[in-house]
Amino acid sequence: MRHSTLVRVTHWLTAGSFIALTVSGVAILLAHPRLYWGETGAVGTPSLIDLPLPFLLTGQSGWGRYLHFLSAWIAVLTGIAYVLGGMRTRHFKQDLLRPARPAKYNIVQRVTYIAVVFVLFPMMIWTGLAMSPAVTSVLPILVTSVGGQQSARTIHFIVAGLLVLFVVGHVAMVALAGFRRQVAAMIVGGEASVPQVQT
């Protein structure tokens, strides 16, 4: 199978923005590495999770926020292009939802990819916007539906963790399947997912 140009371009844009979102997300988190539930939370109120990390107030949340929102825009616009492209080529339907036999991907792969694209990424956007006082002034349901601004922050952190786990698993499987060949296929569009001939 040959990866289409759209898949290759959106893959690397997503990869780059995901790294930037993770790095900047950690920079923001370190300003207050404590998570709460409900509307409010601060030092002096009960927390849900106290991460074993230092409170770092060296201004890194400033560039962290600038970089986070820039890369969020790239990730979201890329994601829209990817989903529209996948619907146009019937990739989601034919390869993931109702795959032909023999299926290209096994059941674990299919469930994981559907969850990442249609559950986890949308949850990141939703909980991210739920922390914005300007966005929730128009759509308060974004934040009331998750029980408050601090709940949104906590869910945003947990789902980010799940996405990082997914990326670790994804890279591990690429390595098992032949790292150079798979990565080359995602860059130049050569043959991928073809078992290598044992010699």
Q: Enumerate binding residues for another protein (CB under 8 A).
A: 28-29, 31-32, 34, 39-45, 57, 59, 61-63, 65-67, 69-73, 129, 131-138, 140, 143, 149-150, 153
Looking at the Cβ atoms of 137 and 199, the one nearer to another protein is 137
Looking at the Cβ atoms of 51 and 97, the one nearer to another protein is 51
In terms of C-beta density within 10 A (0-12 exposed, 13-18 middle, 19 or more buried), how is residue 5 classed? exposed
Residue 177 CB, nearest distance to another protein (Å)? Answer: 34
Looking at the Cβ atoms of 73 and 118, the one nearer to another protein is 73
The answer to whether the beta carbons of residues 13 and 74 sit under 8 Å apart is: yes
R_g (Cα) of the chain, nearest Å: 19
The answer to whether the beta carbons of residues 143 and 149 sit under 8 Å apart is: yes
Residues 6+ apart with CB under 8 A from 175: none
Residue 140 CB, nearest distance to another protein (Å)? Answer: 5
The number of residues in the chain equals 199
Residue 146 CB, nearest distance to another protein (Å)? Answer: 13
